[in-house]
Amino acid sequence: MSDIKKDLEENSLGVLEALKLRLEDYLNLLDKSLESESLSRLILVQFIDLCNFFITISDQESQKKRGDKNFDFAGSYILNYVLPELFKDRMLIHRDVLLQLQISKIKKQESLVEVKSILDHFNWSKAILQQAIQSFIQNIEAEKNAFQKPDRKRKKLVSKAVHQQNPWNIYKKQFLTIQNQAREIEKSTAVLSEIVLVFKDVKSHTQGICTTLTDELEISKQTIAKLIDSVKNLNEHVKISDAISLIETILDKLDVTNPQQETYAFEIEAKLAVLKEQSIPVASEDGLLLIKKIDFNKATKKWLNYVLLPDLIELWQNRVNLLAFYKHSLLNLKSSLTLLKNNKTLETLPSQIQSLQNLLHSANTNENLQQRIINEVQEKFNIDFLVANIYRSEDFLKVSLQSSFTQLTSTKNNYLIELRRKLKTAFAFFSTKYEISTSDNPLRKLENSSRCIEYRTLKATNIHYDTLFLNKNFIGNLFLVPRETERLKLMETINLWKKGHSKAVLVVGNNLSGKSTFIESVANDHFKKQSIILEANSTIKVEGRKFATSKNLIEALQYIKKNTYNSRPLLVIDNLELWRDKNNNLLDNVRAAIQFVESESNNFFVVITTSKAMQLHLDRRLPFSRSFSSIIDVNKAKTDEIYKAILLRHDASHRNLVTENGLPLANKQLELIVQKLCRSYDNNIGEVLQAWTYAITTADDDKVVFEEKEYEFEDFFTPEEAIILKYVLLYKHINEVILKNFLGKRYDSSYKSGLRRLTNTKVFLRNSEGNLILNQVLYHNIHEILKYRGVLN
């Protein structure tokens, strides 16, 4: 790179011309780039140099003093006020293209994309960059022309900018941040490439074991076939000795142990030792670079433990079972042949041949089972065990509770129960349960969590402002933000129902996701007064008749069906999981709801709401989800919908929003805050509205101060407490009687103290009915902790 000072003329037009020449040189290099790797290097080297050149000339312009007689503010206006925003857009485009090129590289390394797709992706990336640079050159030309012949509007802008603080230093920090992000992308790609090699090594090693088992079984089948021929050809008893000798040779070579099973854990541990926690850029959104922080060692071990290892154990156990049967059959055959030899007869020979054929049949059956398991292992490797999956929205190497040994022991052979005990030591390194680390102080975790709860607890001074965000009933039409995607889907279903089609809708979503509000708005828009909102322990009106509901959903549905004559109403069963008590079983009530849906969907438009966790729970027991024609998930709202909801509620407070320094909070700052909250709370609209209030403090001068503090809620729960928390997440509430009836003697010995601790730490609060419910400010944290532990799907 030549000396910058020699490239620049003293006037601003010369600086712009020098910048234009640099851009044209870069454009020529772009045109000569022929493949993805060279394009990545071009961005990381030449484009970074171009950025540094822009920073240098803009620095020089910003350092000129306005008092100098030769100072030309119009030139400073172009380089410090106008072009930086345009150039920043080009930097973001280059950064995003670089990220996509690196994603393409990882997918190519894992053979997930074809050569043509890579070439098409390269051409698209190159065209995007060329278009971005060409348009920026045009921007410079336009500014040069405007510089020479300024119009009245431009003069006004420049005159106004004279009195503004030069924004260049802010832009410079942003430029340097984007450059560092590009280097982080490069660094992460090198890291991921090494992880790909480790994954391939683990995959190859495991597939080698499967191949060994397959080959061994094939040799055993050939040996059995050879033995059958040998026995069939026995036409005189003196040749029996040869057959017995062959059997003894086979028995000597049989090894009923699994040496690979004993060494596999340690071999894999050695291969995974190089993996560690990494922060990987995975996507960009609204100009922000999204980072995933993943402990690859821990995630990989957990996946191998819960997803792959059970299949391998089943393969090894099938081998042991077959070899044991094989050995037993050979010993019986040897004894029978010895007896025939001693008696000098061949009378029972046909039965011995039949036993060998049965053995061969068992080997063939075992081979089919073995191949099925190996195919499942291969499919899991091909779909899940991929580094490129880090770029997906879902969790990396996600492990569900169904994959745990607890589930396996109830669905597979009983040998797993004993085998789990035997392998506990050998596979200890795989244990990735989310336990309290010995290096962490449990009391410190509890203290931090208590501080977090206190920070989030409703403050009396904020009550009027917070009520706008926290009161579910404070909605009204002006405060309702339409959820267009979900609304259109529901409208389509309603229109079909009105035309005579049988339709029923299941609305699912976590706590605070807005299920009830969504349905209430639909009822007002489409059914007016022809709607029945069915809740436990409430009063409903059916065609003018009042009915007091209990927790017996069967009785309530029968009453509604019997007393509805002149209308086709909307029937909403809200919070299905609450329909239960000691006299009414939830499953019985759910079966009644399903039966009602199947028989009455022509006369009633049935909408049932429940949580996602309860939906999955019921699907494992009943054909629950399949009973509905539509399933609407309201768990995640769009970011712009949440942003609008916050603005509506804040504007209703008639207060000014300021930072902790007393400065007005700009719209851009507000957008970034909302985006951050949306990411933190998975776009759950109620959780975000609630989290907004945590950072708000009302002042006496019609202002509200936004000052976000970081108080982390940490996992201090024992295994027993985790079980209690899962129950409450599913069923909404619990009490001492329910838990004692559910657990029996184990309640006093293991769970009573845990329930008390959850209550004392305010994780549980007691409602007006005397039941313990989850503290609403902790729902998201508890859900994520249990999900991470594998307690929840």
Average the pLDDT over 634-663 and give the result: 82
Q: Name the band, by pLDDT with cuts 50, 70 and 90, for residue 349.
A: low
**C-alpha torsion angle, residues 387, 392, 395, 398 (rounded to 10):** -60
In this structure, what DSSP letter does residue 9 have? Answer: -
Residue 761 has pLDDT above 70, yes or no: yes
pLDDT at 4: 41
Q: Name the band, by pLDDT with cuts 50, 70 and 90, for residue 63.
A: confident
Tokens of 67: 């008092």
Q: Name the band, by pLDDT with cuts 50, 70 and 90, for residue 262.
A: low
pLDDT at 585: 86
Q: Which residues pair with 573 in a beta bridge?
A: 534, 608
Residue 562 has pLDDT above 60, yes or no: yes
Q: Which residues pair with 73 in a beta bridge?
A: none
pLDDT at 147: 62
Helix then strand then coil, % of the chain, to nearest 5: 65, 10, 25
Q: Which helix (H) or strand (E) holds 732?
A: none
Average the pLDDT over 104-122 and give the result: 88
| Strands laid side by side in the 772-774 sheet | 733-734, 772-774, 764-766
Which of 183-197, 334-348, 756-770 bottoms out in mean pLDDT, i.e. has the lowest? 334-348
Average the pLDDT over 509-515 and give the result: 84
pLDDT tens-digit series, residues 376-424: 888 888 888 898 888 887 778 776 543 433 333 333 444 334 434 443 4
Report the 10 Å Cβ neighbour count for 521. 19
Per-chain mean pLDDT for the chain: 79
- Of residues 745 and 551, the one with the higher pLDDT is 551
Residue 56 has pLDDT above 80, yes or no: yes
pLDDT tens-digit series, residues 166-189: 788 888 999 999 999 999 999 998
Report the 10 Å Cβ neighbour count for 297. 18
Q: Name the band, by pLDDT with cuts 50, 70 and 90, for residue 438.
A: very low
Asked whether the beta carbons of 772 and 764 are under 8 A apart, the reply is yes
Q: Name the band, by pLDDT with cuts 50, 70 and 90, for residue 9.
A: very low
pLDDT at 579: 87
Helix (H, G, I), strand (E, B) or coil at 504: strand
Residue 49 has pLDDT above 90, yes or no: yes
Average the pLDDT over 504-522 and give the result: 84
Which of 45-54, 240-249, 669-678, 729-738 bottoms out in mean pLDDT, i.e. has the lowest? 240-249
pLDDT at 71: 55
pLDDT tens-digit series, residues 297-340: 888 888 887 788 888 888 887 777 777 777 777 777 777 777 76
In this structure, what DSSP letter does residue 444 have? Answer: H
Query: pTM of the prediction?
Result: 0.51
Average the pLDDT over 32-56 and give the result: 91
pLDDT at 24: 92
pLDDT at 257: 63
Query: In terms of DSSP H, where are the helices of 653-735?
Result: 667-680, 685-694, 719-731
pLDDT at 685: 85
Tokens of 733: 């509430």
pLDDT tens-digit series, residues 273-297: 899 888 899 888 777 888 888 889 8
Query: In terms of DSSP H, where are the helices of 33-114?
Result: 36-42, 48-63, 73-76, 83-109
What share of the chain in percent tops pLDDT 70?
Answer: 83
Q: Name the band, by pLDDT with cuts 50, 70 and 90, for residue 520.
A: confident
Give residues with Cβ within 8 angstroms of 159, minimum separation 6: none
Average the pLDDT over 210-238 and give the result: 77
Q: What are phi and psi for residue 538, nearest 5 degrees?
A: -140, -175
